[in-house]
């Protein structure tokens, strides 16, 4: 039985304040062998490093989310650069563009997205890309920064299969989570049918986006099997084939060794 790799989680979130350590400690015996805790602000990056240092199966990604870039300064950017060399840091993220909210203004988001992409290139880390209601600008900046040479994943992919082709042309991976199980996720299901299985990784974005039948509740890595079932149905393959492909893809994405390599 292939274990599960949750490539994108936020266990540093306040939603896990009461039971964070107990929950994380129990994951391996529940089939969740590896987790990447993803930073979204400087404070959450510090917390992600702490969790990665405490738990052998937890790794971290460090970066500043588009909705948090107003906090970035040259000093905090330098701190981020130094922390990316941490032995358990596997990626720079999550970074990108989010136009769902009116603040911060798009120009500030674009500035720090490009700066962080450049930092990823400098530090030789793949990127975790957040893109919400900003598909065209995201693609344009990724192309301008030659993201195909950097590598990375479009986290919580939510666009069309036509847009997926543009990301595929840059050799990026696609993070697929609980939204795939939603009844109204027709556009995503069409995109997932189109995206090759060797470019898909599993994620939760927990505590957010719990899959059916737990939609609306606090999410955690133990819900990933619902996503595996949905993926297997769409792809016409077994759940074990989905888990094996996703396990291997996740290690390639993050440049990590695994038993099969």
Beta strands at 4-9 and 173-176: parallel, antiparallel or unpaired = unpaired
Q: How many CB atoms lie within 10 A of CB 221?
A: 24
The whole-number pLDDT of residue 237 equals 98
Element housing 141 (H / E): helix 135-144
DSSP assignment of 175-244: EE-GGGGSTT-HHHHHHHHHS-GGGEEE---BTS-PPTTSTTSPP-GGGHHHHHHHHHHHHTS-HHHHHH
The pLDDT > 90 percentage for the chain reads 97
Q: Single out the residue of 168, 170, 162, 130 nearest to residue 146, CA to CA.
A: 170
Tens-place pLDDT, residues 134-152: 999 999 999 999 999 999 9
Q: Is the pLDDT of residue 260 over 80?
A: no
The whole-number pLDDT of residue 156 equals 96
User: Which residues are CB-neighbours of 132 under 8 A, at least 6 positions away?
Assistant: 97, 98, 99, 100, 158
Tens-place pLDDT, residues 213-259: 999 999 999 999 999 999 999 999 999 999 999 999 999 999 998 76
Tens-place pLDDT, residues 154-183: 999 999 999 999 999 999 999 999 999 999
Give the separation between CA 34 and CA 51, rounded to whole angstroms.
Answer: 12
User: Which residues are CB-neighbours of 227 under 8 A, at least 6 positions away?
Assistant: 176, 177, 178, 180, 181, 202, 211
Q: Is the pLDDT of residue 28 over 80?
A: yes
Q: Is the pLDDT of residue 111 over 70?
A: yes
The whole-number pLDDT of residue 5 equals 98
Q: How confident is the model over 40-64, as a mean pLDDT?
A: 98
User: What's the mean per-residue pLDDT of the chain?
Assistant: 96
The whole-number pLDDT of residue 102 equals 83
**Sign of the CA dihedral with 243 first, then 201, 61, and 216 last:** negative
User: What is the three-state SS of 22-48?
Assistant: HHHHHCHHHCEEEEEEECCCHHHHHHH
Tens-place pLDDT, residues 203-216: 999 999 999 999 99
Query: What does the block give as tokens for 62?
Result: 């460090």
Q: Is the pLDDT of residue 39 over 90?
A: yes
The reply to whether the predicted model has a pTM over 0.85 is: yes
Element housing 61 (H / E): strand 58-61
Task: Walk me through the domains of the chain, giving residue ranges and CATH numbers.
Answer: 4-254 (3.20.20.140)
Give the separation between CA 31 and CA 41, rounded to whole angstroms.
Answer: 29
Any idea what the Cα angle at residue 95 is, between residues 214 and 14, rounded to 5°?
A: 45
């Amino acid at each position: 039985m292939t274990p599960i790799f949750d490539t994108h989680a936020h266990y540093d979130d306040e939603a896990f304040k009461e039971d964070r350590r107990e929950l994380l400690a129990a994951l391996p015996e529940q089939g969740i062998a590896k987790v990447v805790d993803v930073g979204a602000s400087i404070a959450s990056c510090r917390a992600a490093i702490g969790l990665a240092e405490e738990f052998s199966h937890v790794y971290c990604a460090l970066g500043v989310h588009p909705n948090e870039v107003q906090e970035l300064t040259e000093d905090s950017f330098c701190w981020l650069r130094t922390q990316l060399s941490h032995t358990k840091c596997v990626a720079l993220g999550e970074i990108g563009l989010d136009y769902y909210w009116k603040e911060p203004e798009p120009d500030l988001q674009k500035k720090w997205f490009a700066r962080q992409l450049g930092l990823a290139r400098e530090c030789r880390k793949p990127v975790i890309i957040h893109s919400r209601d900003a598909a065209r600008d995201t693609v344009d900046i990724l192309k301008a920064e030659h993201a195909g040479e950097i590598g990375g994943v479009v986290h919580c992919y939510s666009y069309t299969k036509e847009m997926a082709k543009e990301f595929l042309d840059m050799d990026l991976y696609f993070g697929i989570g609980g939204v795939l199980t939603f009844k109204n996720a027709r556009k995503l299901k069409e995109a997932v049918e189109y995206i090759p299985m060797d470019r898909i990784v599993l994620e939760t974005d927990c505590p957010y986006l719990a899959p059916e039948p737990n939609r609306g509740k606090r999410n955690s890595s133990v819900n990933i099997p619902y996503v595996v079932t949905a993926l297997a149905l769409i792809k016409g393959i077994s759940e074990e084939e989905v888990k094996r492909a996703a396990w291997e893809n996740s290690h390639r994405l993050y440049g990590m060794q695994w038993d099969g390599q």
